[in-house]
Amino acid sequence: MVQLPRWQAILVVAICALGTLLMIPTFLSKDTLDSLPGWFPKHQITLGLDLQGGSHLLLEVDVNAILEEDLAAILDQVRTSFRQAQIGYRNLAVRNKAVEFELVDPASTDAAQNALKDLRTGNEIQSDGTRFTIRPTEVSIRDRQRAAVEQSIEIVRRRIDETGTAEPLIQMQGRDRIVVQLPGVNDPERIKRLLGKTAKMTFHLVDPNTPRVPSGTPAPPGSMALPPDKADGPDAGFNYVVRKKVEVAGDRLVDAQPTFQNNEAVVSFRFDSIGAKKFADITRQHVGEPFAIVLDDKVISAPVIREPILGGSGVISGSFTPQSAKDLAVLLRAGALPAPLVVLEERVVGPSLGVDSIKGGLLAGYVATALICAFMIGAYGLLGTFACIAMVFNIVLIGSALALMGSALTLPGIAGIILTMGMSVDANVLIYERIREEVRNGRSPVSAIDAGFKRAFGTIVDSHLTTLFPSMLMFGFGSGPIRGFAITISIGVIVSLYTAIMVTRLLVVQWLRRSRPKALVL
């Protein structure tokens, strides 16, 4: 006998009602939603970037740059401490991700070991007496890199916040990657420009004898030749000769603002107390000498110090446009990235395409619903109608699950829902075809329906599970939009297992009870 315990019937109705209730907020405006009482569900389906328009950037932190920087620092330290301890060395260089050198006098091994003791934490020091290798340990490299990625995320967030982008999503992905999603930003050039600079700012003294050399000329020891920031400015073809020693660094800045001076766009800055003191000392001792402001190994300007600057604030001028002055101020306020960022992947959808995609997706959904319903009703009559009602609840429940989970609906996601509609009636087809067979075998309507539901059940579970596996794997390997597709398909398969069996069953049971048909027309 076909029947459904009362509690199950109530559960089916309750789940469908709840699903419908959860779908309502998606169709309401934000204002209407806020005015509703507190118990009313507020979760709306969020649209993916491909539907609402926006930019998706996958950035990679160049962690090798950090290792190189560390090795350079170790090399510097070896040189300084050996000079202090007066130990002779040769062939000091970075090779195979390690710092290597040889001692001139094998007798100085102990002295060398002693001079290197500060480098022992985080590094592995090997030596055969004269030949030394200093190599950062795996653990310390990993820790440094993780810290760098975390710090990068923080800096990226600050820089993006400075641009006033609404609701950016910034997340770590994998070991050294950062996902940045910017809803509504359809020209990410400015943001990419901001993220493309490490923005390491340093102040250096300039060699007073030869402040400039033609590019290509090597700098004297202790100095480096850096190109001007503006390649087409008056300094084109020349490099500045600046001292390697960093007098003050950008991390001492507490504020930077774009402003105007003599009708020229400039950036004003202010140091913290330590920075201000250093800055005051330098400018006092070097009046009349040029002082280079260096950003990412390029000289923005090298003005001559006219008088000591004691207040800790100053102005950078360097043929800026108002926009580039603004950008530089943003970069200086947000701080320097520990390592350069590379854009690995970029996906941008403009608002016009997003609107078209939503329109197309909805239309396709309506047409598919109409076609499938017409076909099912044509084939199975009233039972087909029941299948269609179950299918509609299937869509409603997928929607409410998406709203609850907060996972974004993408264009492939819509495709997944539409495809699920076609596949979800499969469970009904299986049941109904079975009922047809049982009727042909001479069973009464009630017993045929009973047998149909019972016997089709195992097949339905098998076939649904085999559909579920690939979708879940897709979720594992896919990026953004594909994940949206995999999510809707997976939810759809699970939900349809419920709706196609239980909702249909409830409707069939009610119908049998009311009309007690003598014969089934199928």
Partner 1 sequence: MKRLRLVPDGTNINFMRLRFICFALGAIVILGSFVLFATKGLSYGIDFRGGTLVELRMPTTPDFGELRAKVGGLGLGEVTLQGFGEPTDVLVRIQAQEDGEKGNQRAIATLREAMGPDVDFRRVESVGPTVGEELRMAGLWAVLAAIAAILIYVTMRFEWQFGLGAVIGLVHDVIFIVGIFSLFGLDFDLTTLAAILTMGGYSINDKVVVYDRIRENLRKFRKMELAELINKSINDTLSRTTMTAVTVILSIAAMLVFGGPVIRTFNLAMMVGVVIGTYSSIFVSAPVLLYLGLKRKPDAAKEEATPARP
Select the residue interacting with partner 1 from 482, 494, 512, 517 (CB under 8 A): 482
Select the residue interacting with partner 1 from 380, 386, 393, 453 (CB under 8 A): 380
Select the residue interacting with partner 1 from 145, 165, 239, 357 (CB under 8 A): 357
Instruction: Please state the closest distance from residue 266 (CB atom) to partner 1, in A.
Output: 26
Note whether 522 binds partner 1 by CB under 8 A.
Answer: yes
Q: Which of 167, 198, 227 is nearest to 331 (CA)?
A: 198
Work out the angle at residue 366's Cα, subtended by the Cα atoms of residues 361 and 370, and round it to the nearest 5 degrees. 145
Note whether 4 binds partner 1 by CB under 8 A.
Answer: no
Site for partner 1 in 256-315 (CB under 8 A): none
Per CB under 8 A, which region of 155-163, 206-214, 243-251, 459-467 contacts partner 1? 459-467
Instruction: Please state the closest distance from residue 480 (CB atom) to partner 1, in A.
Output: 10
Select the residue interacting with partner 1 from 28, 468, 494, 512 (CB under 8 A): 468
Q: Which of 100, 155, 96, 107 is nearest to 131 (CA)?
A: 100
Note whether 324 binds partner 1 by CB under 8 A.
Answer: no
Per CB under 8 A, which region of 36-44, 313-321, 398-406, 485-493 contacts partner 1? 485-493
Select the residue interacting with partner 1 from 324, 478, 512, 517 (CB under 8 A): 478
Note whether 192 binds partner 1 by CB under 8 A.
Answer: yes
Give 95-135 as a DSSP string. ETTEEEEEESSGGGHHHHHHHTGGG-TTEEEEESSSEEEEE
Select the residue interacting with partner 1 from 194, 282, 489, 507 (CB under 8 A): 489
Q: Which of 328, 292, 323, 286 is nearest to 307 (CA)?
A: 286
Which strand (E) or helix (H) includes residue 169?
strand 169-173
CA distance 449 to 513: 13
Beta carbon nearer to partner 1, 315 or 344:
344
Note whether 423 binds partner 1 by CB under 8 A.
Answer: yes
Site for partner 1 in 401-420 (CB under 8 A): 411-412, 414-415, 418-419
Beta carbon nearer to partner 1, 148 or 415:
415
Q: Which of 440, 435, 419 is nearest to 490 (CA)?
A: 419
Beta carbon nearer to partner 1, 136 or 188:
188
DSSP strand pairing (253-261 vs 238-243):
unpaired
Dig out the tokens for 150 from the structure: 């975390």
Note whether 497 binds partner 1 by CB under 8 A.
Answer: no
Instruction: Please state the closest distance from residue 307 (CB atom) to partner 1, in A.
Output: 42
Which strand (E) or helix (H) includes residue 172?
strand 169-173
Residue written as token pair 């044509």: 378
Note whether 425 binds partner 1 by CB under 8 A.
Answer: yes
Residue 347 and residue 55 in contact, taking contact as beta carbons nearer than 8 Å: yes
Select the residue interacting with partner 1 from 8, 46, 313, 463 (CB under 8 A): 463
Site for partner 1 in 129-188 (CB under 8 A): 186-187
Note whether 494 binds partner 1 by CB under 8 A.
Answer: no
Select the residue interacting with partner 1 from 106, 129, 218, 360 (CB under 8 A): 360
SS3 128: coil
Q: Which of 226, 199, 227 is nearest to 295 (CA)?
A: 199
Q: Which string of b and e fits 150-181 if b means at least 16 CB within 10 Å?
A: ebbbebbeebbebeebeebebeeeeebbbbbb
Beta carbon nearer to partner 1, 266 or 411:
411
Per CB under 8 A, which region of 38-46, 98-106, 213-221, 471-479 contacts partner 1? 471-479
Note whether 385 binds partner 1 by CB under 8 A.
Answer: no
Dig out the tokens for 7 from the structure: 């509690």
Site for partner 1 in 427-456 (CB under 8 A): 429-430, 433, 436-437, 440-441
Residue 189 and residue 217 in contact, taking contact as beta carbons nearer than 8 Å: no
491: exposed, middle or buried (Cβ count in 10 Å: 0-12, 13-18, 19+): buried
Work out the angle at residue 438's Cα, subtended by the Cα atoms of residues 435 and 443, and round it to the nearest 5 degrees. 115
CA distance 370 to 487: 24
SS3 230: coil
Select the residue interacting with partner 1 from 93, 342, 404, 405 (CB under 8 A): 342
Q: State how far the alpha carbon of 22 is from the alpha carbons of 14, 42, 290, 408, 485, in Å.
A: 12, 8, 68, 16, 21
Beta carbon nearer to partner 1, 360 or 406:
360
By CB under 8 A, the count of residues binding partner 1 is 79
Note whether 210 binds partner 1 by CB under 8 A.
Answer: no
Which strand (E) or helix (H) includes residue 164?
none
Beta carbon nearer to partner 1, 25 or 492:
492
Note whether 477 binds partner 1 by CB under 8 A.
Answer: yes
Site for partner 1 in 45-104 (CB under 8 A): 50, 58, 60
Residue written as token pair 């820089």: 159
Widest CA span in the chain: 111
Identity of the amino acid at 122 = G
Instruction: Please state the closest distance from residue 412 (CB atom) to partner 1, in A.
Output: 6
